Each structure stands twice: as structure tokens, then as C-alpha cells.
């Protein structure tokens, strides 16, 4: 009987999870693949480092060439993070004639075109379900299950760390630094959490999903991106009073004018599935023209959920499904660009706004006057009782607008911030309508 | 360039949706499949019936033999419901050397073993994503995306009609007959809604999912099944007071003692994703040992959502993925049975109970005495103020129990119903813990 021998590069959290599934659940994986899929070789940077799993000495190595030269190995899980040496390793593995399974979204978001082109030239495949949403099968759903649809929109909670932090702020009444410290203490946030909290990680994942779902060709840094690092508890509380929760949403929305893409804290009406996603879960709500709305939720990170996605890809590659999918998907190909990316300022939406203002009559008239001149109209307003104001005599003015363009809302806020009775910067967030 | 020519048998709601996708979105489907997939022949029972889509006269026929004899057609969407002639038609299509895509869950639940065996013998495949959950990709998720996991449990809202009816009862305060009439008026329920409301439809789908997820070999009528036809608004209201919603849940739960399967109205804690699924949506919450909990929600029925799943299967079949999946999945094979189906009465759970009792002291002591003798203990109780009782002097006694076996809970209720101070039948429902 045929056997697929697998290589693993990188034995960090996910790599260890993959090795564990392959060694501890051989029978299960053999049943699902219809043949034996076994771990053949593991490449690590430091052989002396203690490992959770012990390997035969001939199986573990610190030389990539031991893996690339091993002709019995046909597929490699490339589980090193970051850009280099991950990129060079990917290329060397492809050149050696092996297929790849990876969880490295940063690498795909940055060097996807190069890597996918090279894989195609060499007749190899790259599977990457684990790069977005951990164990939640969003790549497969878009690439395969929804293939009869034109995807019209995609709204995702794609960064579990941010969602955990915002959930903690909301549930515990904490400010951002306290919630971040808790996330770090619990292992949900890295020591350097910048890419998570500034929205970059979500933007990278949105770029990958947008390539797949819309045939969009863009670099992730072209996506307008606001993180959660300036989010304040008071806004979570006002949102709650208005019947909403705030989530860091990655949004891709198609219209006749093109594809609008952004990542930002967004108000979602309570009770809607995306609003109820708590803790470190990820979720995506996809709308297709035939299927309507499909909602997926799952663990967005973590050792075994991510390993689950990697091993599913491994089985798909071992049985031959990945090769077919990779050939039929136009991911990062040089095919025609089928969607125009819309300039960010042209996009429109409903907005939540908060200003700290001097507590005297006439301020609301001034502010609504500025908004009106920019064609931004107020849909609802929270009027705070006086005791909620600062000791300084300032009070918060919280409002939701009717639909307005991003550009107009931005210009109105800039002008409002210049008013003598308005203190500090205004807060503006999108509202999911 | 290669072309896949497709046959469609049955031009009802779903068949028309499939024909529409194939004819109106040829370009999209060609891009997704990497080659042309086109409608070759349509078989209907009555050629004289007016159709939403017009076909060339040589394309539409009332003779199945025109389709089976057409050697250019390699895959057929079999979209006739019911058992016969659907079963015979499936067999004839397979014998003629064509692959099948179907949405007919009743047929698979009843004749799955025969049809799948025959397909394998003939080297053909059967794809059936549309048979469960409409456009929600649950078959693919279990069969492919979660293939690294041992599935531990599966909780589903698998019948959109029932969910619509219960949602309407809850939101409008209606009784069952009123909500059913509304569902029929809106086209969510058939003229004969028996299979939907008595839980049979959900049991058939649960049987299909259990074959796939657990390798269970059972007939759908072996699944313990309670429908929504005796559900009363008062219980929705008491559940709400206790912090729960009632949903018709199809449940498969694995434990060391075997696999427990049942379909019944179940209390789900508000805020949990399954509790918040409203209207005619379907949803499934699956737990795998590696991935943890994955939640899917989508339109469970309807023309275009179901057609979306059929055409995705068609593309999978046209590109060759279905053949691989069909060969590797052990669905309805003669392979070893890997899970024991647990006797229903051995299962255990938390229960919601309601009795109408005479409003005099000592009744609660009598009832809790009976429960105690059967090892069923009360976790919480709603004591109704006197004015909520019937004019007859009866009051409802509502309670939630700690974990108890199904058998003990059933015997206790039988005994309680015999007490002189208890009127009519008791109500018992599971509580999702």
C-alpha cells in the first residue's frame, strides 16, 4: 500500500501539534487518507533544545538539505513564521519537488505572488487553510464549497488576540493596557503584540481571503487599517447603550463601484452572530449571491486547532485534492484582475462618533452644523446627564450618523476638532448596517 | 479545452436553481472549474408544464433513457425527491456510467448503503452536500476540513421549517398551529409538514452526518425523535425566564459508553450560538478533539442556497475532487463499525420539567419525593405566583434537574403523572449543558 511521507520544518507550537497528530493518531489519519501518512523528517534550528515529543535521531535534523534531499518525502509542512528564512525555505522545498502545507499568513500576504507562481511553474502545490482562522475552514469554504457563488461581502473577526482583549475590556470594564496585560499573561498575546493590536495581522488575512474570494490583487498594506490600541472602555459602554458591541472587523464589500476593504473597530448590533463572538474565537460571515449568508466560527489560533487545519491540508495533499484545487484556483495568478479596489475615502457607512465638549448650550448646534455642511446627518444621539461629565465641565457627546462617505465623515471630524468648545480628538468608528 | 456536460433530472425548485446557475453564470463556473461545465440535458416528468427557464427542445426530455444513453454527459444532478422513482433513477444513472450529485436526504437516509455500494462497484461517485443544511457546507467540513479530528459531538439545527415555527412562536407569542399556518403561508412549510415537525427530517439528516462523522451504522428510524408539534408557548416563556431558548436540536454525542443520538426540543442557554439561530436558518456546532468547537450557520433550504451546494458538488465532481473524497470516505461502506450506538434510555442529561398541579401545600414535597427515589435531583424551580394558575386552582410547577439518566427521568415522570394532585401529562425537555 502507498505511503505518503511527510516533512515538518519548524517544531514550535504548531509544528509540535502537527507531529503529535501524525504520530499519536496514525490509524485515524490512515483511514481518512485511505493510505498511510507518516512523519518522515523534522527540521529544527536547534537540535539541543528540549522537545515535547522525542524523535529518532535520524528523523530530526538541523539541516534543511537532509529534508530536501530525501526523495521519499513528497509533502512538507513549513511551519516557521516570519518572512525570512521562511521564504527561502519555501522556495528550496518547492525546488526539491515537494508540495507544501503552511500556516504562515505573513509570508503569503507578503510573498504570495512569487511563491504561488514558482509552485505552479514547478508543478507543485501550496495549501494554506491554517494561515487564516486556525481550525475554522474558511479557505476551503470560499475556495471549494462556495464555488458556485459570486462572493458579495466578507466580514471577519480574524484576530483572536484582539477579540480576546476587547471581550475582556467589555466584560471586566478594563482599559486597554490592563486587558492586553491579561491577554499576555494568559498566552493569547505575544510579548510583542503589535501586529495583532494594530490590525496588521487581520489585514494580512483579509488580503489572503480577498485574493481568494474576489480575485483582488493587492498588497495587505494597501488595506485601510485601524487597530484596537486606542479603543476606550467608554465607547464599549456607549455602544452597549445603543444596542451594539464593538469588534475589530476585517471587511471586504463588493459594489458596482469596486471592492472596499478595511480593518477597524466596528459597531455590530447585539444578537448578530458576529457581535456574539467572544474571547479568542475567530468568525467570518460571507455573503454569496446564491447561498446568501454563511457564518463560520472556530478557534482562530492555538496549537491543536491550527494543527487540525495543517493535517487536513496534508491529507488533502496526500490524496490529490490539493493539486486539483491549486490548479483551478486563480490565487495570485497573472489572470485578469476582475475587481477594482475602491479608494478608501470613497467608501461609505454609518458612523459612531464621540466628542468631549464643553457643557454649554449651542455646542450641539455647532457640531451638527459642521456635519450638515459635509452631508453627514445624525441618526441618534446619547445625551449624557450632567454628572457624567468630567470635573472640568466637559461632557461626552455621542452620536450615530446616517450613511455618509468616509471622506466626508473624516473631513467633518477634523473641522469639529477645531471648534473651541471641543476638547481633544474625536472618536469615529464604523457601524455595521 | 475539456468540457463537462451535465444532466439534470427533476426541474422543481432546486433543479430550476441549478439550471439557472449553469446557464446564467457559465463564465464564473468555467473559472472555478478550470474548464467549461455546461448543461447538456434536462429530464422532467411533464413536458407540457410551464417552466421558468426555456430550453431547446432537444435538450429537455421526459425520457430518462435520453439522458442515460447520452455518452457526452458524465455527471447528473438527481433532484427528484422521495424514495421512488428517485432510487431507481439513481441506479439507472449509475449503471449508465455517470457520477451523481444529489440533494435527496430521504433517499440517502433510507437507501444510502445500497446506492453507495453500487456506485463504488461501478467506479462512480455520489456527492450530497445539498442533502444536509442546504448551502451550509457541513458535509464538506466533516468529510474534508476536519479530517484530522475524532469528532466528539455534533449539535445541529437541521430543519429550517421547525426553527422558523419555534422562532415565530417565541417572537410573536403564538401557539403551534398559528405559527405552522404562518410558515405554510410563507412557503417555509409544505402542505404536508409532517416530516418537518415530527423531527423525521432532522433525524434523516442526523443519520447522514453520523455515518460521516462517527462511522455510525444505523437507520434513521433508530434515532429517538420528538418533534415540535406538542410544543407549547408557555414552555418557551418559562425557558426564557430561566435564561434559555428552545430549539429542535439533532444531537450526536460520543462517550466511552458509545454514541448517543436523538432529536428533540432542547433548552439552549441564551447567547450560545445555537440559541441565537432564528428563522429558517440551519446551524451545526461540531466538536473535534483537535480543532475544538466549530460552528456553521447558513440557509438550510431554499432554491438558490441548495442550488449553490449542488453546483459546488458539480464543480468538485467535474474537476475530480469528489472521486477522491468518495473513495477515501468510509461512508456506508462495509468497513468495521467503529462506534457502538448507545441505548436511548442509558443516555443522561439535564432536564426541564413542567407539571400542572393542584395549588395546595405538600405537592412539591410529593413530586420531589418521587424524583428523589429515581435519583433525579432538582437544580432550580420556578414558583408561580397564585394568579398565574388556572381558574381551576391548578398552577404550573417548572423545574430544571441535575444530570439524570433518560430512563430514570422517564420513569419518574410516569410516576408523577399518577399522583392525584398532578393533572394531565408532564412536559420534559433536555437542557444542553
Question: A340 catalytic, yes or no?
Answer: no
Which among A147, A271, A278, A302 is the top mutation candidate for probing chain B, defined by the most B β-carbons within 10 Å of its own β-carbon? Answer: A147
Which 8-state DSSP code applies to residue A144? I
pLDDT number for residue A155? 98
User: Is residue B123 helix, strand or coil?
Assistant: coil
Closest CA to A326 of A53, A128, A76: A128
Residue A186 has pLDDT above 90, yes or no: no
Closest CA to B228 of B260, B201, B206, B205: B201
Question: How close B317 gets to chain A, by Cα (Å)?
Answer: 11
Question: How close A200 gets to chain B, by Cα (Å)?
Answer: 25
Residues of A in contact with B21 (CB under 8 A): 148, 290
Query: Do the chains contact at A308 and B319, CB–CB below 8 Å?
Result: no
For A263-293, how does the pLDDT look when each residue is reduced to its tens digit (9 = 90+)? 999 999 998 999 999 999 999 999 999 999 9
> Alpha-carbon distance A279 to A274, whole Å?
12
Residues of B in contact with A305 (CB under 8 A): 290-292
Which residue out of A98, A105, A205, A247 is catalytically annotated?
A205
pLDDT number for residue A334? 61
Residues of B in contact with A314 (CB under 8 A): 148
Residues of A in contact with B310 (CB under 8 A): 148
For B227-265, how does the pLDDT look when each residue is reduced to its tens digit (9 = 90+)? 999 999 999 999 999 999 999 999 999 998 899 999 999
Residues of B in contact with A273 (CB under 8 A): 273, 276, 297
pLDDT number for residue A54? 87
How many residues are present in chain A? Answer: 433
Nearest CB to B321; choose among A29, A324, A330: A324
Query: Do the chains contact at B149 and A308, CB–CB below 8 Å?
Result: yes
| Chain B, nearest residue to A146 by Cα | B312
For A374-415, how does the pLDDT look when each residue is reduced to its tens digit (9 = 90+)? 999 999 888 765 555 566 678 899 999 999 999 999 999 999
User: Counting runs of H as helices and runs of E as strands, what totals does chain B give?
Assistant: 15, 17
pLDDT number for residue A387? 57
Question: How close B29 gets to chain A, by Cα (Å)?
Answer: 6
**Which domains does chain B show, CATH number per domain?**
3-134+305-328 (3.40.50.720), 138-300 (3.30.360.10), 345-431 (3.30.70.260)
Contact criterion met (CB below 8 Å) for B215 and B264: no
Question: How confident is residue A56, by pLDDT bands cut at 50, 70 and 90?
Answer: confident
| Chain B, nearest residue to A35 by Cα | B328
Nearest CB to A290; choose among B21, B129, B150: B21
Closest CA to A322 of B24, B319, B381: B319
Between B342 and A329, residue with greater pLDDT: B342
B297 - beta bridge partners? A295, B283
Alpha helices in B215-320 (DSSP H): 233-241, 303-319
> Alpha-carbon distance A124 to A130, whole Å?
18
The three cell numbers of residue B405 are 439518566
pLDDT number for residue A223? 94
> Alpha-carbon distance A60 to B121, whole Å?
43
Nearest CB to B147; choose among A136, A293, A315: A315
> Alpha-carbon distance A221 to A207, whole Å?
9
pLDDT number for residue A373? 95
pLDDT number for residue A104? 95
> Alpha-carbon distance A10 to A60, whole Å?
11
The pLDDT mean for chain B works out to 92
The pLDDT mean for chain A works out to 91
How many residues are present in chain B? Answer: 433
Q: For A5-14, A50-59, A192-201, B402-411, which range has the lowest pLDDT when averaged over its residues? A: A50-59
Please name the residue that has the C-alpha cell 452620536: A399
The three cell numbers of residue A311 are 493535517
User: Rounded to an integer, what is the distance from CA A154 to the centroid of its chain?
Assistant: 11
When pLDDT is averaged across residues A158-182 and rounded to a whole number, the result is 94
Question: How confident is residue A335, by pLDDT bands cut at 50, 70 and 90?
Answer: low
> Alpha-carbon distance A158 to A137, whole Å?
12
Q: Is the peptide bond before A173 cis (omega within 30 degrees of 0)?
A: no
Question: How confident is residue A332, by pLDDT bands cut at 50, 70 and 90?
Answer: low
Where chain B has pLDDT below 70, the residues are 1, 331-337, 384-392
Closest CA to A137 of B309, B136, B105, B75: B136
For A375-386, how does the pLDDT look when each residue is reduced to its tens digit (9 = 90+)? 999 998 887 655
pLDDT number for residue A346? 82
CA dihedral B387, B390, B391, B392 (to 10 degrees): -130
pLDDT number for residue A328? 81
Closest CA to A107 of A19, A41, A205: A205
> Alpha-carbon distance B302 to A216, whole Å?
30
Contact criterion met (CB below 8 Å) for B145 and A142: no
User: Rounded to an integer, what is the distance from CA B54 to the centroid of its chain?
Assistant: 33
The three cell numbers of residue B230 are 406538542
Nearest CB to A140; choose among B33, B140, B330: B140
C-alpha separations of A375 from A370, A402, A405, A410, A411 in Å: 9, 10, 9, 12, 11
pLDDT number for residue B387? 57
pLDDT number for residue B344? 78
pLDDT number for residue A218? 86
pLDDT number for residue B390? 63
Question: How close B125 gets to chain A, by Cα (Å)?
Answer: 15
For A107-159, how does the pLDDT look when each residue is reduced to its tens digit (9 = 90+)? 999 999 899 999 999 999 999 999 999 889 999 999 899 999 999 999 999 99
Between A257 and B191, residue with greater pLDDT: A257
Query: Do the chains contact at B294 and A297, CB–CB below 8 Å?
Result: yes
Please name the residue that has the C-alpha cell 480543532: B291
pLDDT number for residue B337? 64
> Alpha-carbon distance A396 to A398, whole Å?
6
Nearest CB to A288; choose among B144, B148, B308: B308
For A220-256, how does the pLDDT look when each residue is reduced to its tens digit (9 = 90+)? 999 999 999 999 999 999 999 999 999 999 999 999 8
Query: Do the chains contact at A147 and B294, CB–CB below 8 Å?
Result: no
Contact criterion met (CB below 8 Å) for B42 and B60: yes
> Alpha-carbon distance B291 to B288, whole Å?
5
Which residue out of B105, B205, B247, B340 is catalytically annotated?
B205
| Chain B, nearest residue to A214 by Cα | B28
DSSP notation for B244-267? EEEEEEEEEEEETTEEEEEEEEEE
Query: Do the chains contact at B144 and A33, CB–CB below 8 Å?
Result: no
| Chain B, nearest residue to A25 by Cα | B148
| Percentage above 70 pLDDT, chain A | 96
Closest CA to A127 of B1, B27, B319, B144: B144
When pLDDT is averaged across residues A342-368 and rounded to a whole number, the result is 88
pLDDT number for residue A337? 64
Amino acid at each position: 500500500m502507498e505511503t505518503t511521507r511527510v516533512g515538518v520544518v519548524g517544531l514550535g507550537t504548531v509544528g509540535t501539534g502537527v507531529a503529535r497528530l501524525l504520530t499519536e493518531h496514525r490509524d485515524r489519519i490512515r483511514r481518512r487518507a485511505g493510505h498511510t501518512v507518516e512523519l518522515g523528517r523534522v527540521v529544527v534550528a536547534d537540535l539541543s533544545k528540549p522537545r515535547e515529543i522525542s524523535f529518532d535521531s535520524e528523523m530530526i535534523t538541523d539541516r534543511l538539505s537532509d529534508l530536501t534531499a530525501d526523495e521519499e518525502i513528497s509533502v512538507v509542512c513549513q511551519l516557521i513564521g516570519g518572512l525570512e528564512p521562511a521564504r527561502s525555505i519555501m522556495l528550496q522545498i518547492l525546488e526539491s519537488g515537494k508540495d507544501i502545507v503552511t500556516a504562515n499568513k505573513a509570508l503569503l500576504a507578503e510573498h504570495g505572488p512569487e511563491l504561488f507562481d514558482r509552485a505552479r511553474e514547478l508543478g507543485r502545490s501550496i495549501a494554506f487553510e491554517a494561515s487564516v482562522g486556525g481550525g475554522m475552514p474558511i479557505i476551503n469554504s470560499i475556495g471549494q464549497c462556495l464555488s458556485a457563488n459570486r462572493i458579495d461581502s466578507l466580514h471577519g473577526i480574524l484576530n483572536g488576540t484582539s477579540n480576546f482583549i476587547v471581550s475582556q475590556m467589555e466584560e471586566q470594564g478594563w482599559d486597554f493596557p490592563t486587558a492586553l496585560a491579561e491577554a499576555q499573561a494568559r498566552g493569547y498575546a505575544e510579548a510583542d503584540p503589535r501586529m495583532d493590536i494594530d490590525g496588521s495581522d487581520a489585514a494580512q488575512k483579509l488580503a489572503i481571503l480577498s485574493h481568494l474570494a474576489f480575485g483582488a490583487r493587492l498588497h495587505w498594506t494597501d488595506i485601510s487599517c485601524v487597530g484596537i490600541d486606542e479603543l476606550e472602555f467608554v465607547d464599549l459602554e456607549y455602544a452597549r447603550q445603543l444596542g451594539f458591541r464593538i469588534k475589530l472587523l476585517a471587511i471586504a464589500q463588493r459594489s458596482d463601484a469596486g471592492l472596499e476593504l478595511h480593518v477597524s473597530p466596528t459597531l455590530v448590533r447585539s444578537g448578530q452572530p458576529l457581535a456574539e463572538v467572544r474571547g479568542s474565537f475567530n468568525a467570518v460571515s460571507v455573503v454569496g449571491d446564491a447561498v446568501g449568508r454563511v457564518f463560520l466560527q472556530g478557534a482562530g489560533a492555538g496549537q491543536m486547532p491550527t494543527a487540525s487545519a495543517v493535517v487536513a491540508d496534508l491529507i488533502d495533499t496526500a490524496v490529490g485534492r490539493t493539486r486539483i484545487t491549486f490548479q483551478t484556483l486563480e490565487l495570485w495568478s497573472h489572470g485578469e484582475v476582475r475587481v477594482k479596489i475602491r479608494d478608501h475615502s470613497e467608501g461609505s457607512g454609518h458612523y459612531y462618533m464621540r466628542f468631549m465638549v464643553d457643557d454649554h448650550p449651542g455646542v450641539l448646534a455647532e457640531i451638527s452644523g459642521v456635519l450638515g455642511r459635509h452631508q453627514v446627518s445624525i441618526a441618534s444621539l446619547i445625551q449624557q446627564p450632567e454628572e457624567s461629565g468630567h470635573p472640568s465641565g466637559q461632557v461626552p457627546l455621542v452620536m450615530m450618523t446616517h450613511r455618509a462617505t468616509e471622506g466626508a465623515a473624516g473631513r467633518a471630524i477634523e473641522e469639529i476638532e477645531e471648534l473651541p468648545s471641543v476638547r481633544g480628538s474625536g472618536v469615529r468608528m464604523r457601524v455595521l448596517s
